[in-house]
Amino acid sequence: MPIVGTNARLAQDQALEAADSDADMVEWRADWLAEQARISHGQRMSRLAETERIVALAAILKILVAPKPLIFTWRTAGEGGHGSALADGGYEAVTEAVIRAHAASMVDIEVCHSAASRLIDAAHDYKVPVVGSWHDLSGTPPESVIVERLETIEGAGVDVVKLAVMAQRDDDVTALMNATAERSHETEVPLVTVAMGEMGLVSRVLGHIFGSQATFASIAGESAPGQPTLAELRRLWALAE
């Protein structure tokens, strides 16, 4: 379940909602807060101050959602994040600071980012598990390419592989699910795959049948296109039984 509050109070309120829900894990999308901070404070807030603020809030949210694990995620604009390229200038420093402070149970690291290798090494040095992610908002590549991307993410040395594509037709969802099923027989780490957009809902509901180990559902607001609410997801699962 994602936390997508644009200020500390909203983020904490959503964390409490998540704690009271039957979700298994919680993800804090820090890019929502970082972008709002940039808009509100302009250049008056230094990178150091912003980093300290986000790390402190991450630690609070981790406590509020406990014993559910908290995943720290700063999704960059290029991969569908809520912020801007300007705000993303803090991505590397903030992610590393969260790792060093153990302010989250896991960290999401975009494997295509220039700092990915260094951040993954830092996370492992500090015994913080890594979700290695790759988000393609341009569409859905062929099945064989999806398999290759899943292999590439795992090859970066991450603990969980996450791949999201944008579905534009039914064939896109089929390609993602088939690729997930194929790779799930070879991988040595958990896979999480998602087809975003309205067409991709079935991947969020039935992905586990094909080997995807987790899915995302919201309470206070979706963090990606086509994300169902937790109540909707539970209802669809019940209908599928």
DSSP state of 163: E
Tokens (6 digits) for 90 = 């803090």
By C-alpha distance, which of 158, 208, 145, 215 is closest to 187?
158
Q: Choose, from 62, 82, 113, 135, the residue flagged as catalytic.
A: 135
113 given a catalytic annotation? no
* 56/94 Cα distance (integer angstroms): 11
Q: Catalytic site residue 135?
A: yes
Judge contact between 137 and 166, C-beta under 8 A.
Answer: yes
Estimate the crossing angle of helix 143-155 against helix 170-184, to 10 degrees: 40
**Which residue among 127, 162, 185, 208 is the active-site one?**
162
Q: In what order do the strands lie in the sheet with 26-29?
A: 2-3, 26-29, 70-73, 106-110, 130-136, 160-166, 191-196
Residue 225 CA: distances (Å) to CA of 70, 80, 113, 200, 221: 21, 10, 22, 9, 11
Q: Is 239 exposed, middle or buried (0-12, 13-18, 19+ CB in 10 A)?
A: exposed
Catalytic residues, by residue number, are 135, 162
